[in-house]
Chain A
Amino acid sequence: MRRLLFVTALVALSVSHVRTQDTRTRVDVSKLGPQVGEHVPGFQLNDQAGKSQTLQSIMGRRGAMLVFVRSADW
C-alpha cells in the first residue's frame, strides 16, 4: 500500500511538472513590445527633477534612444 501511494505521488508530481511546462509560454524578447517600423506608445512621466516628460519632449532633432532598465536602485 505504501508502495502504491509512493508511485501515485510520483505520478502526480510528474504530471504537475509537465502541466506547468506545457502551459508556460517561452519567453522571446525579440517578439516583445513595438517592432521595427511600429510606433511606440506615448507617455507622460516625471523625471528625476519632477519635470513632466513625454515622447515629444525627449526627442532630439533626428529621434531618440529610449532605454528601459530594471532599476537604478539595485
Chain B
Amino acid sequence: MELQSRVNELRTNGIGLAVISYDSQQILADFARRQQITYPLLSDVGSATITRYGILNTVVEDALGPNGMDPAVLADLQRYVTGTQASERLRGIPFPGTFMLDRQGRVTARFFEDYYWERNTVSNIMLRVGDARTPVNAVQASTEHLDLKAYPTDSSASPGTRFSLVVDVTPKRGMHVYAPGATGYRVVVLNIETQPHVRTMPIQYPASEIYYFKPLNERVPVYQKPFTLITEVIPEATADARKSLAGKTELTVNGTLEYQACDDKICYNPVSLPLSWKVALRENVRAAPRPAQPTR
C-alpha cells in the first residue's frame, strides 16, 4: 500500500496515521502481515464508528433494497460502491475518504472522492494542506525572467490515483509575471496536453499581490515572489482506460508554462516553455470498475 511507504514522511511531519474499515481484527492482522503494515489498522466491526462519522455508504442499502434495480440507484452503485453488483458483504462500508485533523481533533482538510476507485496519494494530500513535500523526478529550468522546478508529487501512480503536477516558480529580481485577473497582459498558465484516459483538473493558483505601475497609474495582480502552480492528474480506472494503459510502465505528461514577464521598465515577449513530467505506472491492486452487470 502506498500509505506504508509514506509513514516515515508523515511521522517526520508530526502527523499520526490510522486507517479504519469494517474488517475484523483477524482480517486486519492477516492483511498487515502480508503487506508488512506498521501503522494502526482499526477494526470497526458493525460500522458504529463509520456511522457516527456520518459516512456510512447508504448506496449499498439502497442497492440491496426494493429499489435496487432503479437506474439512479444502479448508477450510484457503479459510481460509489462497486463495478459489479451489490452484495451483502458490502453492507457497512464507508464512502472512502480521508480527514486531516489537528491535535484537538478538528478537521483541517478532507478528501472524499466522487468515484470509489479514485484516491488521493498521501503526497498529494500533504501538498494540498501546504505541508513539506519531497520533489521527485524534478526538472529545473531557467529563463532570463525566472527559475523553475517542475515535478510530480509521486514517483509512481496507479489507475485511479490522484496526484499533482507541480511547478515552483521563482521570478528573478525585479521581475513579475501576471496572475489571474490581470487584463492586457498574458496571465501565467500551465497548459497540459490532453491524452486519452488521463484526466487533468483545473490549475490551482496561489493568492497574488497587486503591483502598482506608476507611469500608467495601473494596478495589476502579479506574482513577484516565489509561487507554485499545481494541477491534479488522474489516470482513469475504467475498463477502457486499463486496456489502453495496459503494458505501459510509465506515464508522461507534457505541457507548457506560458507567461509574460515585466520589470519596472520593460515588458518582455510572452514565453512558452515546454515541460514534461514522468511517473511510473503501477498495476492497480484494487478491484477495478467493470462494465455494469445488473443481474439482480
Contacts and interface: CB of A to CB of B under 8 A. Distances in A.
Interface of A: 17, 20-21, 24, 27, 29-30, 32-43, 45-51, 53, 55, 58-74
Contacts of B156: none
Given A27-B80, A48-B40, A68 B53 contact: yes
30 contacts: A20-B73, A21-B72, A27-B59, A29-B95, A33-B97, A34-B53, A34-B107, A34-B110, A35-B107, A36-B107, A40-B101, A40-B105, A41-B49, A47-B25, A47-B40, A48-B43, A58-B16, A58-B17, A58-B18, A62-B15, A62-B103, A64-B101, A65-B122, A66-B98, A69-B19, A70-B21, A70-B96, A71-B21, A71-B23, A72-B23
B37 interface: yes
A62 to B, nearest CB: 3
B24 to A, nearest CB: 9
For the complex of A and B, list the 8 residue pairs with the smallest distance between their C-beta atoms, beginning with the closest: A62-B14, A60-B16, A64-B16, A47-B40, A48-B28, A72-B31, A45-B42, A29-B112
B16 A35 contact: no
B247 to A, nearest CB: 26
A38 to B, nearest CB: 6
Contacts of B3: 67
A70 B116 contact: yes
B16 A63 contact: yes
Nearest to A36: B107
Given A27-B58, A30-B112, A66-B98, A60 B42 contact: no
Given A39-B105, A48-B31, A68 B40 contact: no
A50 B24 CA distance: 10
Interface string B78-120: 0010000000010001111111111111111110111010000
B258 interface: no
Instruction: Identify which of B18, B19, B62 gathers the most chain A CB atoms within 10 Å of its CB.
Output: B18
A47 to B, nearest CB: 4
Given A34-B107, A63-B14, A45 B43 contact: yes
B52 interface: yes
Nearest to B51: A41
A13 to B, nearest CB: 11
B263 interface: no
Contact of B110 (A24, A33, A43): A33
Instruction: Identify which of A42, A47, A49 gathers the most chain B CB atoms within 10 Å of its CB.
Output: A47
Nearest to B89: A74
Nearest to B90: A70
Contacts of B99: 33-34, 40, 65-66, 68
B50 interface: yes
A61 B10 CA distance: 11
B27 A72 contact: yes
B73 A67 contact: no
A3 B125 CA distance: 60
A68 B27 CA distance: 16
B270 interface: no
Contact of A35 (B62, B93, B110): B110
A62 B122 CA distance: 16
Interface in B1-57: 3, 10-11, 13-23, 25, 27-29, 31-32, 37, 40-44, 49-50, 52-55, 57
Contacts of B104: 39
Contacts of A70: 21, 57, 93-94, 96, 116
